[in-house]
Amino acid sequence: MLLFFSSAFAKEPLKVAVAGLSHDHVHTLLRAYQQHEVAILGIAETDTALANRYRNRYGLPDSLFFRTVTEMMQAIRPDAVLAYNAISEHVDVAEVCLPLKVPLMVEKPLAVDNKQARRIAQLAAEHHTPVFTNYETTWYDSNQTLRQLVAAGNIGALKKVMVKDGHQGPREIGCSEDFLSWLTDPEKNGGGALIDFGCYGANLMTWLMNGERPIAVTAVTRQLKPSIYPLVDDDATIILEYKSGTTGIIQASWDWPYSIKDLQVYGESTSLHAVDPGTLLRYTGPRKQEQIPLQTEYFDDQLSYLKALLDGEADGTDDLSSLSNNLIVVEILQAARESAKRGERILMDGR
């Protein structure tokens, strides 16, 4: 996807608007605001009680708040809009922002299904305005270094990838009721753990495969805690098959004993294991391991990434945040959901 930016964008600080406050990840942005690392021009939130809680907690001025994204965008013109609302509402934010040529970044995943994802892509193309998706794992130095080593042929041909993501459960770790109200809703979130954490694996796998779509997807979902999550899955395993013979195994769950975001890749004689954001191990045998020094040239977070893009200092094409990658992510998730529902292996070409 080609990126189009105006030289009129301010370089310091990044000026953003916020669409929704119901996603708990918004706390990271508001802490950055308190540290003067970003300027917030407006916040759109229809839930008055929710808006008031954030206003009071972070000492936000009344002048920042609007009822709707449309109302907000009539009053301000930010460098970018950051969406912290239900996944099903991302397309609604895109319908407002992209015709105004204001770049959009949403929290993962891009959309709940292919129809919404393709509409967002259509708007981006028609209005020459980029859309990005934010994943925590994008900013892990371990993942960035791992991918460089794979691309350089350090492990030989990529044979197998295993991605484990999740935690004890969103209610168990104390997510807000505002977040839970849509995170555990099959329509607003698109599913449970399969969507919430399966998207990380689909995103990383697509990146490692240089944007290649899998030829088949097989998934199994379970409700291990139906009394807590009666409407959605809380545990999912997704298998991705590629034409080259590479296999991706994604394990997404709200039933891990602790929080985990773990990436392992296996080559012809070597494996790499990104244990956490700052640890990358190379294995040449079960007991032969070494810790790999990490490259630190990639961006620290979505704000530094967006700033570089808007300043013309980065490209953003086909990376983890890109629209091209995340359209495939949504395809994978929809196929996985269908596979689990039907109990069948789903061919991505439809045959």
Shortest CA distance to 188 belongs to which of 118, 93, 86, 94? 86
pLDDT-derived band at 145 (thresholds 50, 70, 90) equals very high
What percent of the chain stands above pLDDT 90? Answer: 92
pLDDT-derived band at 243 (thresholds 50, 70, 90) equals very high
User: Is the model's pLDDT at 178 over the cut of 90?
Assistant: yes
Mean pLDDT over 102-110 rounds to 98
User: What whole-number distance in Å separates Cα of residue 15 and Cα of residue 314?
Assistant: 18
Residue with token string 């391991």: 289
Mean pLDDT over 316-339 rounds to 96
pLDDT of residue 233: 98
User: What whole-number distance in Å separates Cα of residue 110 and Cα of residue 328?
Assistant: 10
User: What whole-number distance in Å separates Cα of residue 138 and Cα of residue 160?
Assistant: 20
Residue 122's alpha-carbon distances to 6, 83, 128, 323, in angstroms, are 20, 18, 10, 11
Q: Cα 38 to the chain's mean position, in Å?
A: 20
User: Is the model's pLDDT at 5 over the cut of 60?
Assistant: no
User: Is the model's pLDDT at 73 over the cut of 50?
Assistant: yes
User: What whole-number distance in Å separates Cα of residue 144 and Cα of residue 171?
Assistant: 31
Are the beta carbons of 260 and 166 closer than 8 angstroms? yes
Residues in the chain, how many?
A: 351
Residue 188's alpha-carbon distances to 5, 121, 286, in angstroms, are 31, 20, 43
Mean pLDDT over 136-148 rounds to 97
Give per-residue pLDDT as tens, 13-54. Answer: 999 999 999 999 999 999 999 999 999 999 999 999 999 999
pLDDT-derived band at 127 (thresholds 50, 70, 90) equals very high
User: Is the model's pLDDT at 1 over the cut of 80?
Assistant: no
As annotated, the residues of the chain forming the CATH 3.40.50.720 domain(s) are 15-135+303-314
User: Is the model's pLDDT at 291 over the cut of 50?
Assistant: yes
User: Is the model's pLDDT at 10 over the cut of 70?
Assistant: no
Q: What is the mean pLDDT of the chain?
A: 95
User: Is the model's pLDDT at 256 over the cut of 80?
Assistant: yes
Mean pLDDT over 290-317 rounds to 92
Q: Which residue has the higher pLDDT, 12 or 293?
A: 293
pLDDT of residue 287: 85
Beta carbons within 10 angstroms of residue 348's beta carbon: 16
pLDDT of residue 94: 98
As annotated, the residues of the chain forming the CATH 3.30.360.10 domain(s) are 137-298+329-347
Mean pLDDT over 72-81 rounds to 98
Shortest CA distance to 309 belongs to which of 97, 103, 76? 103
Shortest CA distance to 68 belongs to which of 40, 94, 47, 39? 47
Mean pLDDT over 177-198 rounds to 98
Shortest CA distance to 97 belongs to which of 11, 9, 18, 8? 18
Mean pLDDT over 158-178 rounds to 98
Mean pLDDT over 112-123 rounds to 98
Are the beta carbons of 162 and 264 closer than 8 angstroms? yes
User: Is the model's pLDDT at 8 over the cut of 90?
Assistant: no
User: Is the model's pLDDT at 11 over the cut of 80?
Assistant: no
CATH number of 137-298+329-347: 3.30.1700.10, 3.30.360.10, 3.90.1150.10, 3.30.70.890? 3.30.360.10
pLDDT of residue 350: 58
Instruction: Name the packing angle between helices 141-151 and 198-208 (round to 10°).
Output: 30
User: Is the model's pLDDT at 2 over the cut of 80?
Assistant: no
CATH class of 15-135+303-314: alpha beta
Query: Hey, is 223 helix, strand or coil?
Result: coil
